[in-house]
Each structure stands twice: as C-alpha cells, then as structure tokens.
Amino acid sequence: MLNKVILIGRLGRDPETRYMPNGEAVCNFSVATSEAWNDRNGQRQEKTEWHNITMYRRLAEIAGQYLKKGSQVYLEGKIQSRKYQGKDGIERTAYDIIANEMKMLGGGNSEQQAQGETPTPPRRQAPAAPVGGNDESDDIPF
C-alpha cells in the first residue's frame, strides 16, 4: 500500500513554528495549488485547492526560517486524516499533508530571479582605430 502526496504550490500564509514539550519543532502552513482548463463554451476556468501542511523536526525549523507567504514550494509527504468537532457540534474530518521533503522553488520576489529575467543589452560594435596614436588599451567595449 502507498500513501504519497506530491504538491507544488504557494504558501497562503506565513509558517507558524512551535516546539513540543520534547523540544521537537512543528511547523504549519497552507499551500494553494491550482488547475486551469477551458470549459465546453471555451471559457477559461480555474480551481484552487488549499492544503494544510505540517512538518516536524529540522524540516519544520527550515520551513519556519526560510518560507513566507507567497513562497513557492515542492512538497512530498503523506495524507493524514483527523477528526474534530465543528462549532455547530457536528463531527468533521480534516485532511492534512505531513510533509517529509521540501524544495524551495524560485519565483516570487527573488532578487536573483528578477536579475535573471532582465534582458541583456545588445553588444556595441568595437570603435574604429583610435585617433592620434597606437595606444593599445585594455578597454574592450563589451
């Protein structure tokens, strides 16, 4: 049997990290995943799913330190259900993703990403031979 989940999404809120009595870290946050398609009428449709994520130990500490709302992440883990009683007194079931692997992905407000997308200016042509002598300098115009 297999219980495995793979998600790529963006955080909907900043991670909340706390520590259990035994000193182990626990981190919780939500991740949104979306899918888009064209319906029968050719209209663009989009559906967003929200996933509750829980991480433990060192991975929880890393997530709490480096992730923030809007961060894009790759997650692997398993689905775990839990029962709770709603405000209306009805018992409900929530499904959480217990992540055991995370990769921080580019995007968002990363300065490196922004620099990587900046188009490079076209190269200038080398100037004609210098006027007034044979001054060979190291000034290369590109």
Q: Say if residue 139's pLDDT is above 60.
A: no
Residue 142 CA to residue 136 CA, distance in Å, equals 16
Note down the domain range covering 42: 5-108
Task: Answer whether residue 128 is part of any domain.
Answer: no
Mean pLDDT within 92-112: 79
Percent of the chain with pLDDT over 90: 71
Among 15, 23, 100, which residue's Cα sits nearest to residue 55?
100
Task: Answer whether residue 125 is part of any domain.
Answer: no
pLDDT band at 107 (very low <50, low <70, confident <90, very high): low
Contact in structure between 79 and 53 (CB atoms under 8 Å): no
Task: Answer whether residue 11 is part of any domain.
Answer: yes
Task: Answer whether residue 133 is part of any domain.
Answer: no
Among 37, 30, 115, 35, which residue's Cα sits nearest to residue 73?
30
Mean pLDDT within 2-18: 95
Task: Answer whether residue 131 is part of any domain.
Answer: no
Task: Answer whether residue 141 is part of any domain.
Answer: no
Greater confidence (9 vs 130) lies with: 9
Q: Position 41: which residue type?
A: N
Contact in structure between 140 and 124 (CB atoms under 8 Å): no
Q: What is the pTM of this model?
A: 0.68
Look up residue 48 and give its two tokens.
């967003």
Task: Answer whether residue 115 is part of any domain.
Answer: no
How far from the centroid of its chain's Cα atoms is residue 133's Cα? 58
What CATH number has the domain bearing residue 54? Answer: 2.40.50.140
Among 34, 104, 122, 96, which residue's Cα sits nearest to residue 64?
104
Task: Answer whether residue 81 is part of any domain.
Answer: yes
Looking at the 3D structure of the chain, how many domains does it have?
Answer: 1
How far from the centroid of its chain's Cα atoms is residue 29's Cα? 12
